[in-house]
Amino acid sequence: MKKYLVFVVCCFLVTALYADNAELAKWQGLVKKYEGLAKKFSKNFSAAKGRYAKAKKSGDANGMKKWKSVAKKYQKNLGVAKSRLKAAQAKVAGLSQGGGTTPPPAGGGAEINLTAEDKAMLKLIDSQKPLKTDPKKVMTANKCGNCHKKAVGVWKKTPHFNTFKELHKRPRAKSIAKKMGLKGSIKRNDFCARCHYTRQEVRGKPKAISGVSCESCHGAARDWINIHNDRTKDRMGRLKVATGKGMYNTEDIYQIAQNCYQCHSVGNEKLVNVGGHKAGSANFEVVAWSQGLIRHNFVRGNNTTNAKSAQKRLRVMFVVGAMLDLEYALRGVSKATQKGAYYDAKMKRTNIAYKRLVAVNNKSGGVPEIETLLTLFKKLNFKNKSNLNQAANFITLQARKFTKSHDGGKLASLDAVLPAESKYKWKATPRK
């Protein structure tokens, strides 16, 4: 019994940590495949039995031998197809339990009480989100490159850079724009530019000047760049003042990671249901996606090497990413007005994120901030949009609390489930 329980727990951990929409789609495809084969072999088995019966009735010994063998063959194939179908169906059930159009376990609604301090923190976080980057204050990557030349060199090899010269030419992007009724160039459209471009004010109008660049992630620099460059003061002192002026603090893991989710989790229902845009980046996970192709830690590498993040930092990043996954999935569900591709994708993501948090909590031996979220989740009312938004805000606060309370030193047990370097995103996703 003990061995069985260990086996079940291990299976759950692996499934919860690595299940995603791509994996679910794969098994759904296999279900469809084996349903077709089972139907085909059942029909052939019945036909062979009919031929055998006719041969027997007419006394045809050779016919009886032939069709008995054929029937036996199809009967065996049918058994295999049914067995594989059952296994595939069980896998789909495991990956999408509570997903699709069926909400996860939910009570009458979670009671969430935020203090005045909590509300002030949420207001501050919202005001700092870089999607609200002011084109009037953008200084461009060229300006950043005066000091961060090697970092800019890395950026120029990434999809973030290439989107400026490629996105507007892609057939799929044009199709989405057409379905959404967008007119003119994608580069000039505010709707697309929020995530895909960096814009600067040129002759009184915002103009796309590059793809996703330095200021897309670190904030428009006009108000803080001189403070940031003042080497007569210590770095942490400069960082504190610059942050107050709108710079995204690279030491604040939550602040940086949630920036990724602003675009890698799509929060527009019409864009998905009507435009055919994906509801987010499949398989997105903060550690794997930030530590490969786009990593540019030259400051930590004394401006000579692209330093790897410390293991302790990766642990915190992994946990914060799991929290953010649930936060943005809930925000997505709360915006859904109807059943459809958007709603289904956000519900599946909610379940995957919840399972990952359960697994992380179990593997780590228990994290107070995560345990608080898991308790809250079980009481959520998925028909109450206000309750979901409140829960998402509460996750924000718990994630911030986690980054302030943990440096990763006591989370070594998570090393076994952190993405290996070979699993980091080292290549751009092929686009159409």
pLDDT at 429 over 60: yes
**Confidence (pLDDT) at 98:** 40
Instruction: Report how far residue 69's alpha carbon sits from residue 316's, in angstroms, rounded to the nearest whole number.
Output: 62
**Confidence (pLDDT) at 100:** 41
pLDDT at 274 over 80: yes
In this structure, of 15-29, 194-208, 295-309, 320-334, the range with the lowest mean pLDDT score is 15-29
**Confidence (pLDDT) at 129:** 60
**Confidence (pLDDT) at 106:** 46
- Which ranges constitute the DSSP H helices of 245-340? 253-264, 269-273, 286-290, 311-335
Q: Tell me how long the chain is.
A: 432
Place of tokens 């069926």: 102
pLDDT in tens, 368-385: 999 999 998 888 888 888
pLDDT at 296 over 60: yes
Instruction: Report how far residue 63's alpha carbon sits from residue 53's, in angstroms, rounded to the nearest whole number.
Output: 10
Portion of the chain with pLDDT greater than 70, in percent = 88
Q: Which of 151, 257, 166, 172 is nearest to 211 (CA)?
A: 166
pLDDT at 278 over 50: yes
Instruction: Report how far residue 333's alpha carbon sits from residue 103's, in angstroms, rounded to the nearest whole number.
Output: 10
Q: Which of 241, 226, 233 is nearest to 147 (CA)?
A: 226
Q: Which helix (H) or strand (E) holds 205?
A: strand 205-210
**Confidence (pLDDT) at 19:** 42
Instruction: Report how far residue 364's alpha carbon sits from residue 50's, in angstroms, rounded to the nearest whole number.
Output: 61
**Confidence (pLDDT) at 344:** 95
Instruction: Report how far residue 111's alpha carbon sits from residue 115's, in angstroms, rounded to the nearest whole number.
Output: 13
**Confidence (pLDDT) at 175:** 95
What's the rounded mean pLDDT across residues 174-185?
93
pLDDT at 292 over 50: yes
List Cα–Cα distances, 254 to 147, 164, 415, 419, in angstroms. 26, 27, 20, 19
DSSP letter at 409?
Answer: T
pLDDT in tens, 60-88: 999 899 989 998 898 989 888 888 887 87
**Confidence (pLDDT) at 174:** 94
pLDDT in tens, 235-249: 889 988 998 888 887
User: What's the chain's Rg over C-alpha atoms?
Assistant: 27
pLDDT in tens, 343-353: 999 999 999 99
Q: How confident is the model at residue 227 (pLDDT cuts 50, 70, 90)?
A: very high
**Confidence (pLDDT) at 118:** 78
Instruction: Report how far residue 51's alpha carbon sits from residue 49's, in angstroms, rounded to the nearest whole number.
Output: 5
Alpha carbons within 13 angstroms on the beta-carbon side of residue 151 total 21
**Confidence (pLDDT) at 23:** 66
pLDDT at 268 over 50: yes
What's the rounded mean pLDDT across residues 395-418?
92
| Whether the Cβ atoms of residue 382 and residue 346 lie closer than 8 Å to each other | no
Q: Which of 271, 267, 144 is nearest to 216 (CA)?
A: 144
**Confidence (pLDDT) at 170:** 94
pLDDT in tens, 331-346: 999 999 999 999 999 9
pLDDT in tens, 116-146: 877 887 777 776 565 578 899 999 999 999 9
List Cα–Cα distances, 238 to 129, 235, 296, in angstroms. 20, 5, 20
Q: How confident is the model at residue 31 (pLDDT cuts 50, 70, 90)?
A: confident
Mean pLDDT for the chain overall: 86
pLDDT at 96 over 70: no
Q: How confident is the model at residue 189 (pLDDT cuts 50, 70, 90)?
A: confident
What's the rounded mean pLDDT across residues 387-411?
91
Q: How confident is the model at residue 93 (pLDDT cuts 50, 70, 90)?
A: low
What's the rounded mean pLDDT across residues 169-194?
92
pLDDT at 14 over 70: no
Task: Write down the pTM of the prediction.
Answer: 0.73
